[in-house]
Amino acid sequence: MKIRKTLRNTTPYVAGKSRPGAIKLSSNENPLGPSPRALIAISQELNHLNRYPDGRSGILINALAEHYNLDPECFIVGNGSDEIFAMIAGTFLEEGQEVITADSTFSEYSFSGLLFGGHVIKVPLKNGRFDTEGLLGAVTDDTCLAFIANPNNPTGTFLKDSEIRSFLDRLPRDVILILDEAYAEFATHEEFCSGSDLLSTYPNLIVTRTFSKIYGLAGLRIGYAMAQPDLTQAIFRAKQAFNVNLLAQSGGAEALKDHEFINKTLALCSEGKKYLYKALEEENFFFYPSEANFICIKVDMDSKEVFDNFLKQGMAIRPLASFGMGEWIRYTIGTQEQNEEFIRLLKTLKD
């Protein structure tokens, strides 16, 4: 049996690993657990599991429309952002067309392009950030899609509002930019701007977000995209009939309103960053200041060895070899106790 040519150079996604009993800080999950309001909404739907969910995720889309003050037709919901990326590629990408992104970023951008026969061009990061000039220089007449993570995973760096606008102003209108804002809720820098504010200006912009991070619903797999209706309604052509389950739709709609939980999560992340930045500087570890809920740290040794070392001592972090960053690790900001244990383990690398 032969697999399709377009899949021969793809590899399965490498997820953050752990083991039973270990503190898992490898996948940027919320250490506080799921949104309490989401849990209540989910529990109220348990007796309805014999029914198919709404194929258009109407409850969730209406909640998103109210949250962003946009028309409901500007949204489409998916089984995680991963499915959204695949639906976008499945809708717009012709076999042989080009997809441009960075070399050290979320692998699902490349996978979505390869899945539909695209030619993926990877532009190196510049000082840990997406190089917008390099991306524009890679655009040709065959370019269909461009992916930018803002903030970027795994570096936590971001592009300023002015940089995103300048990029879009010079990007050909027949090339679609997918601006992945999976960690945008954690961004506090004054020059960070949500792509949702740019949608009315740029008809070739799609902004994606997720409920997996700040809302603590990674296990439900809910992602969504927002764009001008011409784009989102076209993407519906590539959507599976009942792609988002009933519990996810109800839980996501309530999670958006759980401001107490969101603020608690942001406070934990902010305090964790202050502690970790100070500790890392004292130990002379280079790291990128992060606008996300994780920190990317240079350990100057094989990151897989660091991972194995930490896991033996009960903590799972993310080695970044799969991102092409063999001497870097990514640490999800946890509770104060977890952060202190991480720094203790990091110090042992120098012993």
Mean pLDDT of 328-338: 98
pLDDT tops 90 at residue 20: no
Position 350 scores a pLDDT of 74
Instruction: State percent of the chain over pLDDT 90.
Output: 93
Check residue 15 and give its pLDDT.
67
Q: 125, 179, 164: which is closest to 288 by C-alpha?
A: 125
With beta carbons less than 8 A apart as the criterion, state whether 167 and 123 touch.
no
Report the predicted TM-score, pTM, of the whole model to 2 decimal places. Answer: 0.95
| DSSP class per residue in 85-124 | HHHHHHHHPPTT-EEEEESSS-THHHHHHHHTT-EEEEEP
User: Which pLDDT band, with edges at 50, 70 and 90, does 7 fall under?
Assistant: confident
The CATH superfamily assigned to 17-32+259-348 is Aspartate Aminotransferase, domain 1 (3.90.1150.10)
Per CATH, domain 36-255 is 3.40.50.620: no
Question: What burial letters (b/e) apply to 234-250, b meaning 16+ CB within 10 Å?
Answer: ebeebbeeebbbbbbbb
Pairing of strands 176-180, 223-226: unpaired
Alpha helices in the chain (DSSP H): 36-43, 58-68, 81-92, 108-115, 132-138, 161-170, 229-235, 246-255, 259-282, 303-312, 336-348
Both tokens of 71, joined, read 């028309």
Q: How confident is the model at residue 21 (pLDDT cuts 50, 70, 90)?
A: confident
Segments of the chain assigned to CATH 3.90.1150.10: 17-32+259-348
Q: Nearest to residue 318, comparing CAs of 153, 188, 161?
A: 153
Instruction: Classify residue 156 as left (phi > 0), alpha (psi -120 to 50) or beta.
Output: left
- Residue 342: pLDDT band with limits 50, 70, 90: very high
Percentage helix, strand, coil for the chain under 3-state DSSP, each rounded to 5: 40, 15, 45
For the record, the structure tokens of 87 come out as 């639906």
Instruction: Encode pLDDT of 176-217 as tens digits.
Output: 999 999 999 999 999 999 999 999 999 999 999 999 999 999
pLDDT at 74 over 90: yes
Angle at 170 between CA 166 and CA 174, to 5 degrees: 130
Task: Provide mean pLDDT across the span 244-251.
Answer: 98
Q: Does the pLDDT of residue 239 top 90, yes or no?
A: yes
pLDDT, residue 14, reads 65
